[in-house]
Amino acid sequence: MEAVVVDNVSKTFRIATDPSDSLKERILRFRRTNYEEFAALRPLDLTIDQGETVGVLGHNGSGKSTLLKCIAGILTPTAGEVRVRGRLASLLELGAGFHHDLTGRENVYMNASFYGMSRRDVDAVFDDIVGFAELAQFIDEPVKHYSSGMYVRLGFAVAVNLDPDVLLVDEVLAVGDEVFQAKCISRIKQFQDEGRTIIFVTHDVETVRQICQRAIVLDHGQMVIDAHPSKSIRVFREYLHAHSPIDDPSSITESPVLFTDVRVRHANERSRRHLLPGESFTVEIDLHAAAPVERPVLAIEVGDPNGTPIFRVDTEDLGTPLRHLDGDHTVHIHVRNVELLDGEYPLNLTLSDRATGRVFDWREGSHQFEVANPTRATGLVALDVSVESDVEVKVDVDVDVEAAPRSPTE
């Protein structure tokens, strides 16, 4: 059964080239305002069956929020029609519909009434909402004192507890902490089991891979692909990361070369998982080229434990180009003398076309290396530091150590 039908929907925004909202201007020019038209959505068809979870991928300005707002009924399509079966709940922005001066409790009732729910309906699920949001302690506080995480928890808790048939989620979950995100994902999975329909807009391809049965990619207001997430994600990556708009969706082809296996290895891996500062490791990459590929670029990026990139280099930069790939190959990337301190450092690997920038394959954060630091230094980089001075050096005796002397056997 169809839950959401987007029937040939397009949306054109008119942007006044001489913006003025005043009555005087309006009367003087009376409908002669100069507009520039901007097509946010080109005619688009999308049918989502009941119980499906569909991911919507696209970079900023691709029209994904416009599509979601048209489905939610906030925007009226310029042409075409949207049909939704059943109750629709949407989470389009952090704390949208919350009033700062009202308490969490008042906002729950307020928010629910935006969906046409009565006080009695909300009373029945109020405890579930508060419990899910983990805000029992703060529910009678004005929400202006809430953190952004608390906002999103309450917003999500209200939306999922209103018994919607269709749930629209736009990015907002990224704000919550990891524990809450995991909870949201598991709740979304429960939703799926209950046969509800979910439309999920995000940049985060891993979430799409994890929870969606289908994903569409939008680019410049057009639907580029509507397929299984793994295929859509690849298209999203391949084409959109090349920063070139997709003019002809039929030009999308299978990637000629893919990673078949990636391993991170080091000399002492038999005795311990981690590296010590200053040790080396190797990334072994197995590639399979279904067709001959000339000189692709293999890039490696290292992130800090928070995922912020701290290093990037590729085979061209290093002067060791991969001249010609055909069939199976193994590439070793040696990273020597890793003078880093404690943490798990994620690795990103990208294989792309040298000329067009098209991404053939990539691994993002799926592999990492770990460093355990035996010294007491803290931070990110293991610098070689010693101290010299004309002050007499006296080694401090640690009080704790004196109070509890180590056993002589140690």
- The yes or no reply on residue 163 touching other proteins (CB under 8 A) is no
CA-to-CA separations, 91 to 25, 80, 126, 152, in angstroms, rounded: 37, 24, 18, 9
- The yes or no reply on residue 263 touching other proteins (CB under 8 A) is no
Beta bridge partners of 370: 344
| The one segment of 74-82, 281-289, 353-361, 393-401 that binds other proteins by CB under 8 A | 74-82
Q: Which is nearer to other proteins, 23 or 403 (CB)?
A: 23
Residues 6-25 interacting with other proteins (rule: CB under 8 A): 13, 21-24
Which position among 28, 74, 174, 355 is part of the footprint of other proteins (CB under 8 A)?
74
Q: Which is nearer to other proteins, 170 or 314 (CB)?
A: 170
Q: Which is nearer to other proteins, 92 or 157 (CB)?
A: 92
- The yes or no reply on residue 33 touching other proteins (CB under 8 A) is no
190 burial via Cβ count (<10 Å: 0-12, 13-18, 19+)? exposed
Which position among 10, 53, 62, 90 is part of the footprint of other proteins (CB under 8 A)?
90
Residue in 325, 327, 319, 330 with CA at minimum distance from that of residue 352: 325
- Only one residue has tokens 């439309």, namely 199
Q: Which is nearer to other proteins, 144 or 324 (CB)?
A: 144
Residue 284 token pair? 């072994």
- The yes or no reply on residue 69 touching other proteins (CB under 8 A) is yes
Axis crossing angle, helix 178-193 with helix 148-161, rounded to the nearest 10: 10
CA-to-CA separations, 205 to 31, 55, 230, 239, 301, in angstroms, rounded: 44, 9, 9, 14, 18
Closest distance of CB 109 from other proteins, Å: 6
Largest CA distance in the chain: 96
- The yes or no reply on residue 99 touching other proteins (CB under 8 A) is yes
- The yes or no reply on residue 38 touching other proteins (CB under 8 A) is no
Which position among 2, 35, 47, 114 is part of the footprint of other proteins (CB under 8 A)?
114
Residue 149 token pair? 């995480």
- The yes or no reply on residue 81 touching other proteins (CB under 8 A) is yes
Query: One-letter amino acid identity for 17?
Result: T
**355 phi and psi, to 5 degrees?**
-80, -45
- β-strands 53-57, 214-219: how paired? parallel
Q: Which is nearer to other proteins, 11 or 183 (CB)?
A: 11
CB atoms within 10 A of CB 292: 11
Q: Which is nearer to other proteins, 166 or 211 (CB)?
A: 166
Q: Which is nearer to other proteins, 93 or 286 (CB)?
A: 93
- The yes or no reply on residue 5 touching other proteins (CB under 8 A) is no
Count of residues engaged in binding other proteins, rule: CB under 8 A = 34
- Only one residue has tokens 């959505």, namely 41
CA distance 286 to 283: 10
Closest distance of CB 45 from other proteins, Å: 16
Closest distance of CB 121 from other proteins, Å: 9
In the 3-class helix/strand/coil scheme, how is 192-206 assigned residue by residue? HHCCCEEEEECCCHH
Q: Which is nearer to other proteins, 124 or 182 (CB)?
A: 124
Q: Which is nearer to other proteins, 72 or 152 (CB)?
A: 72
Which position among 5, 39, 102, 252 is part of the footprint of other proteins (CB under 8 A)?
102
Closest distance of CB 223 from other proteins, Å: 21
Which position among 39, 51, 61, 110 is part of the footprint of other proteins (CB under 8 A)?
110
Asked whether 66 and 75 are in contact (CB, 8 A), the reply is yes
**216 phi and psi, to 5 degrees?**
-115, 150
CA distance 273 to 323: 34
Q: Which is nearer to other proteins, 80 or 321 (CB)?
A: 80
Closest distance of CB 118 from other proteins, Å: 5
Residues 391-410 interacting with other proteins (rule: CB under 8 A): none
- The yes or no reply on residue 167 touching other proteins (CB under 8 A) is no
Residues 116-155 interacting with other proteins (rule: CB under 8 A): 116-119
Residue in 140, 145, 146 with CA at minimum distance from that of residue 126: 140
Q: Which is nearer to other proteins, 114 or 311 (CB)?
A: 114
The three-point CA angle 312-315-317 to 5° equals 65
Q: Strand, helix or coil at 172?
A: helix
Which residues lie near other proteins (CB under 8 A)?
A: 13, 21-24, 26, 69, 72-77, 79, 81, 88, 90, 92-93, 96-97, 99, 101-102, 106, 109-110, 113-119
